[in-house]
Structure 1
Amino acid sequence: MTTLHLTVGLPCSGKTTLARQLEERYSALRLTPDEWHTRLYGQDINDVNHEKRHDLVESMLWEVAARVLVLGVDVILDFGCWVHSQRDSMRFRASQLGADFKIHFLDASDEVLLARLAERNAQLPKGAVYIPESKLKEWATIFEPPFPEELEYSCIYHQS
């Protein structure tokens, strides 16, 4: 049975690094929205259309993921899924396709996230979105760590 692997965490928590490792471990297709977004739209984080574009990219990547799962290949969705309802939706979608579901939760302190963000923004690796510190702080107020009922599907990684 195929598995939908979902990386969960804030930017700079290590999601993409882990997604690359999981891609190798499971011979899976890794879909990282930032890589697609930056190729299509560049560094548009301050553009009024950024969120709309990002949602479109994620929607298209889900369509690819769904087809690949049906074809019998595991998928790593490097989406972040910051809130419970997004994770529930992904779990439901996977079950509708007959796929298993697993959350890979990356938990990092604010200090670690901010330090990694500064390093990332200074180097800005290919496919990475430049994120102002103020945006990361804003997003941290929205983030919902996995609830206890989600933990049966979870692997938790503490980043320090």
Structure 2
Amino acid sequence: MLPLAQPTIHAIHGFIGAGKTTFARQLETQLPALRLNSDEWMVQLYGPDPPEEVFRPGIVRVNVLMRQLAERALALGLHVVLDDGFWTRASRDDLRRWAADLGVPLRLYALILPEAEARRRVRERNAQPGSLYIAPETYDLFWQGFEPLQQGEPHEPVP
């Protein structure tokens, strides 16, 4: 059996509708890797449209569980794809610290899409069974907390 390349965290940055999950699925197959997607977990645990009072604590729990599973996969020599957005500088800094503490390389990919196209994709996705529903008002609310990558943040742009 051939040895695996050093297990790596592949994290995907981008806002809702940017194509993160499509890209994450490609990476999952190409590497191969364990892909972890917070939206999919939220739908499985809390349904496609959980109210805010369920969503906020639920997403925290999901992220803790995903990180634990990622650590186990990395310890077993597997690549991990984190399909979660990393919308804030603080979340990206935390991601970098976590990878450094684990002694694991991190590759951060950035997907950027014009807003009109992202909103169109969200409308399409909302119509798909099993998708996490994002209302237009929720999109607007989440956009207020989105922080694009800043100069000096290492990343790989995805066309």
**TM-score, length-normalised on structure 1?**
0.91
Could you report, residue by residue, the CA deviation over 1:98-122 in whole angstroms, capped at 9, with x for unpaired residues? 1100111110111111111111112
How many Å apart are 1:125 and its aligned residue?
4.3
* Structure 2 partner of 1:114: 119
* Structure 2 partner of 1:86: 91
Does residue 33 in structure 1 map to residue 38 in structure 2?
yes
Cα distance in structure 1, aligned partners of 2:79 and 2:129 = 26
Give % identity.
Answer: 34
Q: How does 1:1-160 map to 2 (within 5 A)?
A: 1-122=6-127, 124-126=128-130, 128-151=131-154, 154-158=155-159
Cα distance in structure 1, aligned partners of 2:73 and 2:134 = 30
How many Å apart are 1:97 and its aligned residue?
1.1
**TM-score, length-normalised on structure 2?**
0.91
- Say if 2:8 and 2:105, in contact at 8 Å, map to a contact too: yes
How many Å apart are 1:43 and its aligned residue?
2.1
Aligned CA RMSD, in angstroms, stands at: 1.3
The unaligned stretches of length 5 or more in structure 2 are 1-5
- Say if 2:46 and 2:54, in contact at 8 Å, map to a contact too: no
Could you report, residue by residue, the CA deviation over 1:120-157 in whole angstroms, capped at 9, with x for unpaired residues? 112x243x200001111221121111112213xx1112
The unaligned stretches of length 5 or more in structure 1 are none
- Say if 2:38 and 2:62, in contact at 8 Å, map to a contact too: yes
How many Å apart are 1:83 and its aligned residue?
0.3
